[in-house]
Structure 1
Amino acid sequence: MRLTSLAAVLMAIASVPVAAQLSSAETAMTKTIDAEQDRTIRFLETMVNQNSGTLNLQGVEAVGKMVRAELEPLGFDVKWIPLPETGRAGHIFATHKGSGRGKKMVLIAHLDTVFEPDSPFQTFKREGDRAIGPGVGDDKGGIAIIVAALRAMHQAGTLKDADIVVALTGDEERPGSPIDKARADLIAAGKWADVALEFEGLATDGGKDFATIARRSSTSWTLKTTGRTGHSSGVFGEGLGFGAIYEMARILDAFREELREPNLTYNVGVIGGGTPAAIDEQGLKIAASGKTNIVAETAIARGDLRSLTDEQDARARAKMQAIVAKHLPGTGAELTFAEDGYPPMAPTDGNRALLATLNRVNRDMGLPEMAEWDPAKRGAADISFVAKDTDGLAGMGPAGEKSHAPGESVDLPSIARQAKRAAILMSRLAQEPAR
């Protein structure tokens, strides 16, 4: 071998993470996950081929039954929690009682998808190392990882001492109302747990895996402006003022100019104005009419607000209300926030300590360490409801593309990789003293 070639080989070896010795149980878990990868993919295919759009209540419950069949043989007490009062199917909560000495863990994923029965995108298809299908990544791939990891722990004997609640909501994509009822069981599980692991999609970029220690909130708002209507020849004058649409434009442009700060966004999703204008009960459609020579009487807009912390959220809301209060002559405005939003999962020292534990797992597996993912690049998720009560890591699910869109896909090798990380992480956490 030439010297230059030898040097290149040595440099390549030096760049690979050095793997510490995994325990015999941890090695056994990685082998089990590899050996059962085809079984895991078949389970994923079965789930994907059962439509479970949020409003398909029977379909959501059917996927819950599939998961029950996987968890009960592992020693989990599985309960279906129906929630007809919220307009949704319900949730699966499965409890495994361990020694009571290690860290208590809640594993979070969801049974539902954005694809209702009328969607043309309905079936699972495999193309080599990629699978395509509705919810294949979001979040049935996450459920498959949970089951694969727990099966490996069970076979290796590390599940025996682990105190775990598997919380699979049936309405993550379109939460039921009231939200406090829809998430009551999850919030209770968060208060019980020392650690929350959420199995939505893995963040990746440039071939690298990233860890999610923070997610932003998601809250909707409605803005209604009013004006004095009349002949447009009097617009801007003392008698009529500026009208509802100019007042709406003033407010929204001020939001754009004055609310800029990192990790804060405020989208306008729908808008309409005229004489008259009204919004439907779902807050999705605005009916408006008017003439060019009539000053607009009403304008309506709806959007969302996303923030990283409670403090940022409160600050943004106060600024928005202050902007709204500065009315143009002859106009009025009212801004209201929905009560069923998702809270933020703020970046905390506890979350970063949990990431450090995961990175020790990565080193021992011979994988690169995972850096923190930019929270502005992630949407809201159910882990946010437990974030104030327990340390957490999100994004423990598979890597994939086109989430929420026809052609949604998942990288199949990432399922095994994530299941190994999760199995080893959970096995180690089960041996750490509870708080």
Structure 2
Amino acid sequence: MLTLLGKLVNTDSGSYDRDGVNLVGSIVRGEFEALGFVTEVHDGGDYGDHLSFEHPEAEDPAIIAVAHMDTVFPRGTAAERPFKVEGDRAYGPGVVDMKGSHVALLYALKALVQDGHGECLKHLKILFNSDEEVGSRSSRPLIERVAEGKKYALIMEPSRDNGTVVSARKGGGRYALQVEGRASHAGVAPEKGRNAIEVLARKVIKLHTLNDYENGVSVSVGLAEGGTAVNTIPPAASAQIDVRVSTMEQAEEVVKKMEAICAEEEMEGTRVTLSGHISRPPMMENEGTNELIGVMQEIGREMGVSIEAMKTGGGSDAAFTAAAGVPTIDGIGPIGGNAHSEDEFLYVPSLTERTCLLAETIRRLVENSD
């Protein structure tokens, strides 16, 4: 497992590195085809190709498993920080988010075959997409189509660093705010200018009043820029806004409020434009999700492992399967932490633990779906 993990981690696959993602895809494809799966390649456009795997004797599989091949790291990162194991931790770009999950899923299926439960493979549809880290822009329609009619969805994001799985996630989206002002010399004729940065600043303050952390709503301006020179009244300014919500009702309300704020005239002679959308619906906890968690908790007790569930603010492809009405559980990959950073790590003993947990979960879900 560690040998394969090292091979995957040492292959750069940033979201915008189409060739790198496709190289990871070729490695993954070879492994799953060796297990007897048939591969279907889906054009990812500007991103890497998406891959779906299905057993040749499958008939309307009840379970969908989703994993992503892309990371947040640019080409060259693997050469700078190659895979390594120190003590009980493995390091490298994408080691836990989510190349460790590729290994866990593959070896869970190998374990099922080895233990005489190879029939389970016929009940599973597997999808590896290439653009999750940038919002699954290309793969969302594919995920939604493949998820249609499924009884269970297993999303292979890593477990939290304390070993918990994910029962609910916030939804959200990205918005762009553009302000058009009027340039003028800051010393000769400042009164003739219309300061776009000033207008932007006023809008940012108002937008941030929409935060309601207690109820799971956040509006955050994370990037802002404007102006052309220090001695020129800035004719333009812009900002990028991150929006997170716990329900679609909250999404509709906060977007209306944002639009109302941006429609207010702050300064005569300026123009404000807001664009963007909620790209991921929230993954909301429901009875089906709780039943899935209950299955994993029962298996965990038999293994001597405590399985707890949590809600998190980060997004994932679980949003799309959950929105399609499929009972979904997320964060079931190996345990690790510091994802998206230079210190990202995977807790090596969890590879075996989570692989065994996943294999038995698949076996029981197949049994329940018959």
For structure 2, the 5+ residue unaligned runs are none
**Aligned match of 1:268 in 221, 227, 235?**
221
1:381 aligns with 2:316: yes
- Give the aligned partner of residue 197 of structure 2: 245
Paired letter, 1:81? H
Q: CA deviation at 1:253?
A: 0.8
RMSD: 2.6
- What corresponds to 1:204 in structure 2? 161
Structure with greater Cα Rg: 1
**Residue equivalent to 1:163:** 123
Q: Cα gap change, 1:130/1:63 in structure 2, threshold over 3 Å: closer, same or farther?
A: same
Aligned sequence identity (%)? 28
Q: Does 1:418 align with 2:368?
A: no
In the alignment, is residue 174 of structure 1 matched against residue 111 of structure 2? no
- Where do 1:16-415 residues align within 5 Å? 40-83=1-44, 86-96=45-55, 104-119=62-77, 120-161=79-120, 162-174=122-134, 179=137, 181-205=138-162, 209-230=163-184, 243-261=195-213, 262-274=215-227, 288-291=228-231, 295-330=233-268, 331-338=270-277, 341-370=279-308, 372-376=309-313, 379-389=314-324, 390-415=326-351
For residues 135 and 165 of structure 2, the distance between their equivalents in structure 1, rounded to whole angstroms, comes to 25
Match of 1:11 in 2: none
Which stretch shifts more, 419-428 or 113-122?
113-122
Does the aligned pair in 2 maintain the 1:225–1:299 contact within 8 Å?
yes
Tell me if structure 2 keeps the 8 A contact 1:121–1:133.
no
Q: CA deviation at 1:407?
A: 3.3
Once the two structures are TM-superposed, the CA of residue 219 in structure 1 deviates from its matched residue by 1.4
In structure 1, runs of 5+ residues without a counterpart are: 1-39, 275-287
Note closer, same or farther for the CA distance 1:336–1:124 as it changes in structure 2 (3 Å cut).
same
Structure-2 separation of matches of 1:417 and 1:45: 19
**CA offset at residue 197 of structure 1?**
0.8
More strand by share: 2
Is the 1:203–1:373 contact (alpha carbons within 8 Å) kept by the matching residues of 2? no
Distance 2:59 2:180 in 1: 60
| Cα 1:147–1:268 shift into 2, 3 Å | same
Q: Output the amino acid matched with 2:196.
A: A
| Contact 1:228/1:296, CA 8 A, preserved across alignment | yes
Against the structure 1 CA distance between its residues 136 and 256, is the aligned structure 2 distance closer, same or farther, given a 3 Å change threshold? same
Equivalent residue letter for 1:221? Y
Give 1:228 shift. 4.9
Q: Which residue of the partner structure matches residue 280 of structure 1?
A: none
Compute the displacement of 1:320 (Å).
0.9
Relative to structure 1, is the Cα distance of residues 98 and 393 closer, same or farther in structure 2, using a 3 angstrom cutoff?
farther
Q: What SS does the corresponding residue of 1:214 show, helix, strand or coil?
A: strand
In 1, the alpha carbon distance for the partners of 2:179 and 2:29 equals: 50
SS at match of 1:71: helix
Rate the CA distance shift 1:361–1:129 in 2: closer, same or farther, 3 A: same
The one-letter code sitting in structure 2 at the alignment partner of 1:44 is: L
1:245: how far off?
2.3
Instruction: Give per-residue Cα distances to partners, 1:162-183, cap 9 Å, x unaligned.
Output: 511111112222357xx3x433
Q: Could you tell me how far 1:96 is from its partner in structure 2?
A: 2.7
Shift in alpha-carbon separation, 1:47–1:233, aligned structure 2, 3 A: closer
Per-residue CA shift, 1:387-435, capped at 9, x if unaligned?
212111110111112212223211011111111111111100001136x
Tell me how far 1:313 sits from its aligned partner.
1.3
Q: Contact 2:179–2:272 at 8 Å: present in 1 too?
A: yes
Tell me, in whole angstroms, the C-alpha distance in 2 between the residues paired with 1:204 and 1:89. 29
1: CA distance, partners of 2:42 / 2:259: 39
Distance, in Å, in 2 between the alignment partners of 1:234 and 1:221 is 36
Matched position secondary structure for 2:26: helix
1:337 Cα deviation from its structure 2 partner: 0.9
Q: Distance in 1 between matches of 2:194 and 2:90?
A: 55
Contact 1:242 1:328 in 2 (8 A): no
